[in-house]
Amino acid sequence: MGRIIAKYLCFAKIRNGFDVLTQHIKRPHTEQDKEIYRIAVEKWKSKMGRLDYNDLPERLKTHKNRNAFLDRFKVVADNVNYSQTVVAHIAKDGHYYIHPDIEQNRSISVREAARLQSFPDDYYFEGVKEGRNRTAAFKQIGNALPPLMGKAA
């Protein structure tokens, strides 16, 4: 899978010879979130299934509304030939954008979200300082037209 991703990054000119990876800013997570992420990734990897909020153990269910947004935890698919849309809501939480590598056990970073939207690695999101203010970058990425889509038009 890593080779396919590497080929795509070069083909789409995302990985464009820029040697420094900027804005690979990850958000902190609670232990409870990490436990839910593990469950979500395991379900995705074993059955290509999505986690339904009501399938979680009771101790992990902290939201009062159990009838809506049952798909609030979603793993970014790493084994399909299309990309999940990144929306500005990613600035609020990363639950809908869980990294598919169980060893990393986190939501995707600013740079990973940018790559999903086809921003080249040398694209720098203004108003964002390294290690701080992920929210501004996530909003910019989620509200933007993906560069590859703009080229296709």
pLDDT in tens, 28-84: 999 999 999 999 999 999 998 899 999 999 999 998 888 888 889 999 988 777 778
Rounded to 5°, the CA angle 18-23-24 comes to 95
Between 112 and 4, the more confident residue is 112
Total structural domains within the chain? 1
**What mean pLDDT is predicted for residues 106-110?**
94
pTM: 0.86
Q: How far apart are CA 114 and CA 121, in angstroms?
A: 8
Q: Which residues constitute the domain of residue 42? A: 2-152
Tell me, what CATH number does 131's domain have?
3.90.120
